[in-house]
Each structure stands twice: as structure tokens, then as C-alpha cells.
Amino acid sequence: MARRGRATIAAALSSIDDAELIALARDLVRIPSVFRPGDPTATEAPVARYVERWFGKQGFGVEVHEVVPGRPNVVAWLGDKDGGPSLLLEGHTDVVTEGDPREWTHPPFGAELVDGRIYGRGAADMKGGLAAAMIAAAAVRKSGATLHGRLVIGALVDEEGDMLGVHHFCTTPLGRELSGAIICEPEQNEVCLEQRGVVWARVLIRGRMAHGAMPQAGVNPISATGALLAEVPALEKRLRRLSEKSRYLEPPTVTPTIVQAPAEGIGQSNVIPSSARLTLDVRLGPGPDGDAVAREIDVACQRAMALCPGATIEWAPINGVRLATRVERSEPLVQAVASAVRQVTGRPARFGGVPGSTDGTILRTSLGIPIVTLGPGKRLIPHQVDEYVEVSELVEAARIYTAAALNFLQQ
């Protein structure tokens, strides 16, 4: 990189005020944004408004896209694309439920700062990452760098649900023009090149209702469910064979998460129900496409049916199939992020993989753009009580995003 580029990065990094970043992350945590269906006050809207105002004050262009009523994406940008690349720093504004607040040592929306950690729901997943992205964008602006291209910051809704926010964003002009994205999810600041895919297979098993004392008169869907559960290890093995080996990801897994009989209504001790339901949480590795995965799940269902004459087993994906994603180390975006880690921390980048899927999965599969997932927070901490983010990781992430954006957008 040219000397002028390095000087700009140094100027941008020195403009970052750690206290301002910590205050911003705590402000975001203090605004609850659990989406609770049926409660119009429990959405991402209040935190989205905060983000919108903050970017307005900093002098960014800001757009608000109402994805569904009361659930707005906020998208801020800096610079003109004008033939250059467009880089997204992505965060989501929703958080998962806090559960029972009495189980928390630190109040879930108190954003307490104790021993170098900020505690609260969303501290790691991912208001910390979002705050770091916001401060990084402001630092890029303050550096006065002439950007070759555009820096976009997306604060999107519903990542923890159906990912409506990112699906919508991919249809907007700012979304469609993207050339790459950094997903600011908590990955302990590792440069994650791969993400596992997922399909939630919702299975309906039908039998025939009968008296429990005369099972020969009916077809028991619970026995057929058992037969399908017995097929799970073989299904997992076949998916592992189909997938490419990965240095960074656990191999595919098939995990039953919901089993229910009867499928509707209340069970009775002396009644064979007419139907049962089963959900399989299937995690995918890189390689097989959606059809190949569906074929393997079909095989498991057919084998179980063959063992239970009279029963039928059907399945459908809840919310489609999200395939695993992978980017190569040689990608310019990966180079920009890995160099940023070296510039900021003085150590080489640690590469890794994301165990679940994120908004980045949709950006990668819908737009075909390279994505890198990197953000502050321990990988295992999201969705737990006493969720926290280490301030040192938060500060490091903001600095890495700043340098990465300048590496990618300066020529």
C-alpha cells in the first residue's frame, strides 16, 4: 500500500475515541429490541431511530426502508460508487429474548460496564458489532480519505427470525450494487471465511387413529416417527459424505429439535393419534446444493415409511434452504480484512468459520458477493444469560473495520 494510504489509515485510527464507542454500544444495548409478535411496541423501531439520528448527525446519507410495518432497516453511506466498489458493514438490530430476567446477574438491558465487559442482551449479538461498525464509518469519514467507491452501513431487522431485513435490502439499489460485505457478528474477531448452512425440515407423519388397546386397528404415527429418528444418524453420515471437508467448520449435523404427537389437539393415553410432527435442524457443509440435500432427507423419509406400512411421511423446509458459504483467501476483500488485522493488532489474522448462518448467507447466495464475518464477542456467548462483550475486543473490531474499509476502498 502507498504511503499516503497508510497515513490515512493512521489518521482514521487515531480519530477513534474508545469512550465514545463504549457509550454508543451501551446506548444500543439499553434500547430493547426483542421482536415479540403481537406486541407492536416490541420491535427494532426504537433502536433503528437511534441509529438513523446518529448517522444524520455524523453527516452520512441515510435511508430508512420499512421492511414490514414497524420494522425498519437503516442504511447509511459515504462516498459515491462511480465505477468503484461498494463495501457493506452489516449488523442486525434485533436481539433474541432475554428469557427470565431473574436468571441474569446483570440486568438484561442495563448495559452494565464491569471489569472491562459490557453486559446485556445483544452486547455481543450484536449491538457491540454494530456500534463498532458505526464508529469505524465515522472514523473513515473524519480521516478525509477520498474513497474509490462507497462505504455502506446496514442496520437490518429480523436476523434472528426469517431474515426479512436482509432479503429486503438485497432488492434495493444500495443493496444490489454491493461488491462485498463484512458481517459484524460475534466471532472473537476471527476472519471467518465459511458459514454452515441450515435447513429446518418440518416433517408431518400421518397414520390412522385407533384405540390404544387395539393397535392392529390403526397405524401409529409415533412408531413411524421413531423409525425416522432411527434414520437420523445415517442421514447425517450421507450429508457428511456429500460435503467438502472444511478446515474451519464442524461437519454437517442432523438434530431433532421438536417432536409432537398428536400433531394437533391434545393427546389421550388410550388413543393412537392420527398424526405427529417432527422438526430436524439440519446443518450443512460446503458442497451439496439444495436439491441434493432434499434428496437425502427424502431417502430418510422413504426408508422410515417402508418400515411402517400405512404411514405417510412428508416434509417441507421452514423458510427455505440456506446453503453453506465459502470465500477464498485470495479474494481482495479477505486480503483487505486480513491486512487490517495485521495493521491494527500487529499479529497475523486468525481464520475461522461460523457455526450457523447469518444475514451474510443471504448476501452471499442472493447477490453472489464475497462476505467475511468478523466481530467482537465470544462465539458461544450469544443467546445466553449474562451475555457480554469484552471492551478490548469491541475497540479492536472498530479499528479493524476502519482499516479494512480503507484498504478495500482506497486505491
Q: Which residues sit at the interface with Zn ion, rule CB under 5 A? A: 125-126, 185
Pull the grid cell for residue 295.
434428496
Q: Pick between residue 125 and residue 190 the one whose CB is nearest to Zn ion.
A: 125
CB of 159 to Zn ion, least distance (A): 5
- 13 vs 362: CA distance, rounded Å: 31
CB of 163 to Zn ion, least distance (A): 11
Q: Pick between residue 165 and residue 175 the one whose CB is nearest to Zn ion.
A: 165
Region for residue 83 given its phi and psi (left: phi exceeds 0; alpha: psi -120 to 50; beta: otherwise): left
Query: CA nearest 67: which of 178, 162, 134?
Result: 162
Q: Pick between residue 125 and residue 390 the one whose CB is nearest to Zn ion.
A: 125
- 241 vs 237: CA distance, rounded Å: 6
Pull the grid cell for residue 138.
465515522
Q: Pick between residue 13 and residue 118 the one whose CB is nearest to Zn ion.
A: 118
Determine the length of the chain: 411
Query: Do 163 and 359 contact (CB within 8 A), yes or no?
Result: yes
Any idea what DSSP says for residue 246?
-
- Nearest residue to Zn ion, scored by beta-carbon proximity: 125
| In the block, residue with C-alpha cell 442486525 | 92
CA dihedral over 156, 49, 186, 282, signed as positive or negative: negative
Burial of 264 (0-12, 13-18, 19+ CB in 10 A): exposed
> 56: part of which helix (H) or strand (E)?
helix 45-58
Q: Pick between residue 125 and residue 387 the one whose CB is nearest to Zn ion.
A: 125
CB of 42 to Zn ion, least distance (A): 18
Cis omega (within 30 of 0) for bond into 355: no
CB of 281 to Zn ion, least distance (A): 17
Q: Pick between residue 86 and residue 357 the one whose CB is nearest to Zn ion.
A: 357
CB of 200 to Zn ion, least distance (A): 17
CB of 112 to Zn ion, least distance (A): 21
CB of 60 to Zn ion, least distance (A): 23
Q: Pick between residue 5 and residue 356 the one whose CB is nearest to Zn ion.
A: 356
The three-state secondary structure class of 219 is: strand
Q: Pick between residue 134 and residue 308 the one whose CB is nearest to Zn ion.
A: 134
The three-state secondary structure class of 373 is: strand
CB of 323 to Zn ion, least distance (A): 19
Q: Pick between residue 182 and residue 205 the one whose CB is nearest to Zn ion.
A: 182
- Written as one string, the DSSP assignment of 73-117 is EEEEEES--TTS-EEEEEEE--B-----GGG-SS-TTT--EETTE
CB of 55 to Zn ion, least distance (A): 21
Residues 6+ apart with CB under 8 A from 115: none
